[in-house]
Structure 1
Amino acid sequence: MLRRLHSLPGLFAALLIAALALTGAFLAFDSIVDRSGSTIPATGQVSVAAIAEAVQARHAEVERIVRTASGTVIAYYFEADLPGAELVDPLTGQAIGPHEPSNLTRTVTNLHRSFLMGDAGRVAAGLGAAAMLVLCVSGAMLLAARLGGWVAILRPSRGSLSQRLHCELGRFAVIGLTLSALTGCWMSLATFGVLPDGAAAEVAALVPPSGAARLPPGQLAALQAVDLSALRELTFPYGADLTDTYTLTTAQDIAHVDAATGQVLDFTPNGLARQVHETIVMLHTGRGVWPLALLLGLAALTAPVLAGAGGVIWWRRRAALPTIRQNVGAQSADTIILVGSEGNSTWGFAVTLHAALTKAGHRVHAGPMNSLAPRYAQAKRLLILTATYGDGDAPESAKLFLQRLERASGALPVAVLGFGDRSFPKFCGFAEQVTEALRAKGWPVLFDTWQVDRKSAQTFADWGKVLGEEIGTKLELAHVAARPKTTALELSGRVEYGAESQTPTAILSFALPASGGFWRRRRLPRFEAGDLVGILAPGSDLPRFYSLASASTDGVLEICVRKQPGGLCSGFLHELPPGGRIEAFIRPNPSFRPSRGKAPVILIGAGTGIGPLAGFIRHNTRHRPMHLYWGGRHPGSDFLYGPQLHQYVEDGRLARLNTAFSRVPGGGYVQDRLAADSAGVRDLMQQGAQVLVCGGRDMAGGVARAFEAILHPLGLDLATLKSEGRYREDVY
């Protein structure tokens, strides 16, 4: 609900908000320029009387003198019945030059206030401010939830480039944008009289003026008593009418001053409503307070970028979800299907289940596990289909489920179906966590949790029969996995290792096939080192995933592959001749890459786990301190990326190279190398280092145990580091 509340105003009001933001940024920076060119006398240095005297000495008929919020003094007058305006030196009262208002500033101001459409435009501007306020509040709440609560609001963000850009810019600009939106809403409501602006209508003086001959303004006591810094406007009496008065408007009140005696005839103090309104205007415009104007201007400039990045995030999220026909609303459904998926394959099973239940006459709603509602009005059952990510973790669309479950109040009969790969030690581990949490919450379980190994359609169909028996509906779940959209790539390079240790390993580089002409040129799919490439071996619909050692900007797709005994995909890749083709697709893996900043990075891997780590080092052109700990079998035959790593040490991209070879006398494993260097590792962790681990499960387990021992003297633990994004794993 919160994400929808954040998305809808952004989608429908993106152009409106962008226009308000850009014009607001222009006006904010214009106020800074205006302020920088103004001279501000010290308090008590110049009085209103002195300025009025100097101006009237030059012009027989002065209409008024205005001091703007930026400190500029402008005099309006008539010469030979023709109006004129001049800029006035606030120190001496002398003319600086003619006052020529900027047509551009005037136009931009009208665009910002009403889009040049009168009252209808003012309404639109007010609605735009309200939409921006909703976006700021909901965005801050989403960011806090994403990072682990308000106490973690300053943690580095994760995700794709558009997600990180959206989060980081939003975090920078949220105060300024919220202030602009809130004050904009206030001013819009005040414009239409919904909120008071405290403006008092000018009335004639209660005490009649003397009507005697006027004194020069410099001799009037009431004007002498007012410092120029307090002036808003001084209106001069009409020349032919001796009963007319000066009208003096200051920050505190409006007063009428006798032009002959200099006495204050009456005054109307600004009430609380007027003071609040003037404060709101100052906070909205920043005029007169250049640091505030700078903050507002910079924040406003981020709004179009935030809108663009948010649109990309929304589009990618929508494009990633399958089309579910007849997906009824959550509060009108009798059956709720919630899906936990990382690569969207679990959604395919959910679509099959949804279609079968709908065909049987049920009203079914399907959504991500993160969308669990506190209560469902008409639901009779909840069906959860969830994959497990990494080492028993929640997949992306289910990361908030357990938190939402704690706040849920309506218990439904529930069935959980887990998806995973039985070769992993924590096969369907997250599904088991969900089942335990549901039981602890007191939700009735329809039947024991089932587990689907490697997307088995038969197991899914069998589970469907059991589910059908429980709910009294015959279900035939005939699931056919959709083949992912792939790109054809050609093998362009191969470097082989491991012949002496009987562990054939190769670094393989792939490029796009020749396109046959300029107009048929294509580009590689966009990816970063650490992302995953799925490769479909001939005759198989199940992809094998490999961590990428390159980025698309390198012009090649590079992976490190060890030939597994009986491995269909690894065998295919090792036998692929130069120019041979593969069918591949990219799966982003934004959670496994160095976070931004200057803190050290500790890279740990073994065997082919060096691939993405080498890619991180290759692109470390800013020489951020990177320390690599890597384990292999023998330096003579298995030192993957050996020449490149030594070159990276020489050119500064790699701060330190630490290796461990298990097949040499006195050798060991990478976790042993870490333990031996515990003091150095501990020092890096005290500097805020991030740890990235890539490789096999056994190696990752040994590294985790070594790190627990290293961290203990610091009062840290792996759970804390993982929650902060400082310890990340890519384990297979």
Structure 2
Amino acid sequence: MLRKLHGWPGLVAALLLLVLATTGVILSVVPAIERAGATIPATGQISVADLAERVVAHYPGTEQIERSLSGEVVVYYSRDRQPGADLVNPLTGEGIAPYQPSAFLRWVKNLHRSFLLDDAGRMLAGGLAVMMLLLCLSGMFLLARRMGGWKAILKPIAGSGSSRIHAELARFAVIGLLLSALTGSYMSAVRFGLLPEAAAAEPSFPAEVSGGTPAPVSSLLALKNVDANELRELVFPYPNDPSDVYSLSTTQGSGFVDQATGELLQYQPRSTGNQFQHWMIRLHTGEGLWWLGLILGMAALTVPALSFTGIQVWWQRRSTSVRLGEGASIEVADVVILVGSEGNTTWGFARDLQNKLNQAGKKVHCAPMNDLAKRYPQASVLFVLTSTYGDGDAPSSASQFMTRLEHFQANDGLEFVVLGFGDQQFPKFCQYALDVDAALSSKGLQQVNLVTRIDRGSAIQFREWGEAIGEHMGISLALTHNPAPAATAEFELVERVDYGVAVNAPTSILRFRPVQDRRNLWQVLSFRSRSNLPSFEAGDLFGVAPPGDNTARLYSLASSASDGQLEICVRKQTNGLCSGYLHSLEPGDRISGFIQQNPGFRPAGGATPIILIGAGAGIGPLAGFIRKNTDRNPMYLYWGGRNPQSDFLYQPELGCYLDDHRLTGLNTAFSRSAEKAYVQDAIIADESALRQLIEKGAQVLVCGGRDMASGVSQVFDSILKPLHMDVDELRAEGRYLEDVY
């Protein structure tokens, strides 16, 4: 529903929004241009009296002086009975150039405000502003849902193509677009009486004035007490009329000034409502806030790209829906396929299954798991194909499945089968598929067979599963989908630092650089290979397949693309094929590998305290996080090794990070030292300080072995107990992240 609420208004209004955005971009640069050409006196440098005196010296027939919020000063005068208007220098009063508002800008402004259609056009523009507000809000919720919650909204966005471009642009521009839409909606609502208009600060004309001989304008006390930068308008009294007065308007209010005594008469300060309305206009136009105008303009510049990519995403989704057989409605489908996917890989398997079922004469309805219906009246088999996200969590297209399942009503005879996709090297291999299988069983549905788990998209396992399911259903189900292998690039080892040999736990820090593709210098400079290697951050994964084995192992990265190198920390495992291969490398040797993003393991931005916990080679990404902490935000490391003399990984770097305050505190524990301590012991010793950090909103990141992570989790449950919290609660808030193996 939220996706439709976001998509359809955008599709319907795309062309008109392009007009508003294009004209908005043009108008957004006007305040900056005006400010660039204006002379702005320092605060307190000259008063309105000084300004008026200098202008009158050059323009004896001055009738009115105006100052725009951008700082331009315009004098309206009469000379030889002919009216004129000039831009003037407020410091000297001299004319700069004739003042003539741009006819083109006036036309652009009318097009922006009303599509050149007067009140009907203004109503249309107001409706579009409301629609843009709806698009911004729904888009923010969609992005938060895609990223796994509001706390993850600034994390790297996974995926590629139009969908990722659309999300990246939206995240960049949403605040500016939201501000423009909100202020535009407010202004339209006020104009058409949907919201009350603030009363203008218009004082009544004074009933009595001194009527004395007019004094020089430079001597009038009321004008001397107002800084020139606060002036909005000064209207001069009618010549030779001692009963007339100066009319003064400033940013704070309006009043009249006796031309003989200089007394301020009938002063009326601006009301709160009037000032609020005034600021809403400034926030929409950028007038007097040239930097904001440029920000709004840059946000508006994204609208054409957002419209184009949004239409592309809608069309791709519509095309995918057609290919996946959503033409078979819920009411008539005899087979239902529900898909849980994070990166859309699972959809390829679902498409193959759907096609083969169609060929067998089945009516298939295919949808994301989040779209689970309350009932499928004609269905005899429910297929669930799902990946697992992170440490056993639901992928994005299945995040609402368990909640919807509570209201699901299974018809008699409905069977189900769950197929999980994952990577066997992770401890919670296909854990979410197992959870879904158990949940469906608890609803009373009958299993076709036990849940099957596909390792790394194995085409062979998928085919074998299809044969077994087809035999049960009495049909031929020859599944053939084979996902494209990960694109690899070539890397050269440039440095290695070895630890732990003395305690029989050899661990090496290996640093690689991409092999330069001399045919494409730009790819080299941007750290991208011809295989389109993506950018990466510390905490992402580096996949390496040892010679003679097509199964890649994943290692957490200790560097970012901006470091100009790819760094991993690898402990040599007993009989470990890949770790042994990596430890055999010498500087100059080359390997092939690929990057797999891991956005679920990132430290929070800003001043949030970060607690980093690891053991052994798990320090790799944690060291990378510290290295990137150039803003010196609070960051604490708890790490466990074996012996401080032989395998204190990253010891020189950590010392430097403590010295330059990228690392706030370091606590270590060594199991082969005299103290025989583990990282859990270091945490317990510091529990009071850690509890205070948690109370301040700290985030915990744990990296290392499964047993270590389990022990750390238990310790934190104990630490959090006085706060009436636990680790699961922190996980739900995105404040307890794990990268374990």
Please indicate, yes or no, whether the TM-score normalized by the shorter chain is above 0.5.
yes
The letter for the 1-side match of 2:642 is R
SS in 2 for 1:500: helix
1:286-435 alignment runs, 5 A limit? 286=282, 297=293, 300-301=296-297, 303-304=299-300, 307=303, 327-328=323-324, 330=326, 332-333=328-329, 334=333, 335-342=335-342, 345-362=345-362, 364=364, 366=366, 368-370=368-370, 372=372, 382-403=382-403, 405=405, 414-421=416-423, 424-435=426-437
Deviations along 1:604-639, whole A, 9 cap, x unmatched? Answer: 111111110111112222222221111112223322
Cα 1:96/1:423, change in 2 over 3 Å? closer
* Residue among 671, 674, 677 paired with 1:662: 671
Cα 1:67/1:144, change in 2 over 3 Å? same
Question: In 2, Cα distance between the equivalents of 1:330 and 1:593?
Answer: 37
| Structure 1 position 559, deviation (Å) | 0.8
Given that residues 626 and 662 in structure 2 are in contact (C-alpha distance below 8 angstroms), is that contact kept between their aligned partners in structure 1? Answer: yes
| Structure 1 position 497, deviation (Å) | 2.4
Cα 1:463/1:219, change in 2 over 3 Å? closer
* Residue among 651, 656, 667 paired with 1:642: 651
Given that residues 592 and 729 in structure 1 are in contact (C-alpha distance below 8 angstroms), is that contact kept between their aligned partners in structure 2? Answer: yes
Deviations along 1:116-160, whole A, 9 cap, x unmatched? Answer: 9964895996785465233123124335656888xxx67864343
| Structure 1 position 73, deviation (Å) | 12
Q: Which residue of the partner structure matches residue 135 of structure 1?
A: 135
SS in 2 for 1:507: strand
Question: Number of matched residues?
Answer: 649
Given that residues 136 and 177 in structure 1 are in contact (C-alpha distance below 8 angstroms), is that contact kept between their aligned partners in structure 2? Answer: no
Question: In 2, Cα distance between the equivalents of 1:78 and 1:324?
Answer: 70
Question: In 2, Cα distance between the equivalents of 1:27 and 1:374?
Answer: 55
* Residue among 636, 641, 645 paired with 1:627: 636
Given that residues 151 and 733 in structure 2 are in contact (C-alpha distance below 8 angstroms), is that contact kept between their aligned partners in structure 1? Answer: no
Q: Which residue of the partner structure matches residue 455 of structure 2?
A: 454
| Structure 1 position 72, deviation (Å) | 11
1:677-692 alignment runs, 5 A limit? 677-692=686-701
Given that residues 323 and 351 in structure 2 are in contact (C-alpha distance below 8 angstroms), is that contact kept between their aligned partners in structure 1? Answer: no
Q: Which residue of the partner structure matches residue 557 of structure 2?
A: 548
| Structure 1 position 295, deviation (Å) | 11
SS in 1 for 2:718: helix
Q: Which residue of the partner structure matches residue 571 of structure 2?
A: 562
* Residue among 504, 507, 516 paired with 1:505: 507
Given that residues 32 and 290 in structure 1 are in contact (C-alpha distance below 8 angstroms), is that contact kept between their aligned partners in structure 2? Answer: no
The letter for the 2-side match of 1:584 is G
The letter for the 2-side match of 1:533 is F
The normalised TM-score by structure 2 is 0.70
Question: In 2, Cα distance between the equivalents of 1:528 and 1:135?
Answer: 31
Question: In 2, Cα distance between the equivalents of 1:403 and 1:313?
Answer: 31
| Structure 1 position 349, deviation (Å) | 2.8
Cα 1:113/1:458, change in 2 over 3 Å? same
CA RMSD of aligned residues (A): 5.7
Given that residues 29 and 294 in structure 2 are in contact (C-alpha distance below 8 angstroms), is that contact kept between their aligned partners in structure 1? Answer: no
Question: In 1, Cα distance between the equivalents of 2:294 and 2:377?
Answer: 45
| Structure 1 position 565, deviation (Å) | 3.0
Given that residues 466 and 477 in structure 2 are in contact (C-alpha distance below 8 angstroms), is that contact kept between their aligned partners in structure 1? Answer: yes
| Structure 1 position 436, deviation (Å) | 4.1
Deviations along 1:387-408, whole A, 9 cap, x unmatched? Answer: 2233322234433433455677
| Structure 1 position 17, deviation (Å) | 5.3
Given that residues 601 and 701 in structure 2 are in contact (C-alpha distance below 8 angstroms), is that contact kept between their aligned partners in structure 1? Answer: yes
Q: Which residue of the partner structure matches residue 44 of structure 2?
A: none
| Structure 1 position 692, deviation (Å) | 0.7
The answer to whether structure 1 residue 707 and structure 2 residue 703 are counterparts is no
The letter for the 2-side match of 1:353 is L
The answer to whether structure 1 residue 652 and structure 2 residue 653 are counterparts is no
Question: In 2, Cα distance between the equivalents of 1:660 and 1:678?
Answer: 15
Question: In 2, Cα distance between the equivalents of 1:394 and 1:514?
Answer: 39
SS in 2 for 1:663: coil
Q: Which residue of the partner structure matches residue 485 of structure 2?
A: 483
Question: In 1, Cα distance between the equivalents of 2:501 and 2:68?
Answer: 81
SS in 2 for 1:503: coil
The answer to whether structure 1 residue 285 and structure 2 residue 281 are counterparts is yes
Given that residues 648 and 654 in structure 1 are in contact (C-alpha distance below 8 angstroms), is that contact kept between their aligned partners in structure 2? Answer: yes
Cα 1:451/1:74, change in 2 over 3 Å? same
Question: In 1, Cα distance between the equivalents of 2:94 and 2:321?
Answer: 72
Q: Which residue of the partner structure matches residue 182 of structure 1?
A: 185
Question: In 2, Cα distance between the equivalents of 1:350 and 1:119?
Answer: 51
The normalised TM-score by structure 1 is 0.71
Deviations along 1:2-29, whole A, 9 cap, x unmatched? Answer: 3354357668557545424434544677
Cα 1:556/1:140, change in 2 over 3 Å? closer
Cα 1:588/1:495, change in 2 over 3 Å? same
- Structure 2 residue ranges without an equivalent (≥5): 42-55, 159-163, 198-203, 212-231, 236-273
Identity percentage of aligned residues: 41
Given that residues 19 and 112 in structure 2 are in contact (C-alpha distance below 8 angstroms), is that contact kept between their aligned partners in structure 1? Answer: no
Question: In 2, Cα distance between the equivalents of 1:689 and 1:135?
Answer: 33
The answer to whether structure 1 residue 111 and structure 2 residue 112 are counterparts is no
Q: Which residue of the partner structure matches residue 19 of structure 1?
A: 22
Cα 1:473/1:17, change in 2 over 3 Å? farther
Question: In 2, Cα distance between the equivalents of 1:66 and 1:286?
Answer: 17
Question: In 2, Cα distance between the equivalents of 1:283 and 1:501?
Answer: 68
SS in 2 for 1:330: coil
The letter for the 2-side match of 1:158 is K
SS in 1 for 2:323: coil
- Structure 1 residue ranges without an equivalent (≥5): 39-53, 89-94, 199-216, 225-230, 235-277
The letter for the 2-side match of 1:300 is L
Q: Which residue of the partner structure matches residue 3 of structure 1?
A: 3
Cα 1:9/1:559, change in 2 over 3 Å? farther
The letter for the 2-side match of 1:697 is R
SS in 1 for 2:502: coil
Question: In 2, Cα distance between the equivalents of 1:573 and 1:5?
Answer: 51
| Structure 1 position 642, deviation (Å) | 2.1
Question: In 2, Cα distance between the equivalents of 1:661 and 1:165?
Answer: 43
**Which deviates further from its counterpart, 8-17 or 645-654?**
8-17
Question: In 2, Cα distance between the equivalents of 1:618 and 1:533?
Answer: 19
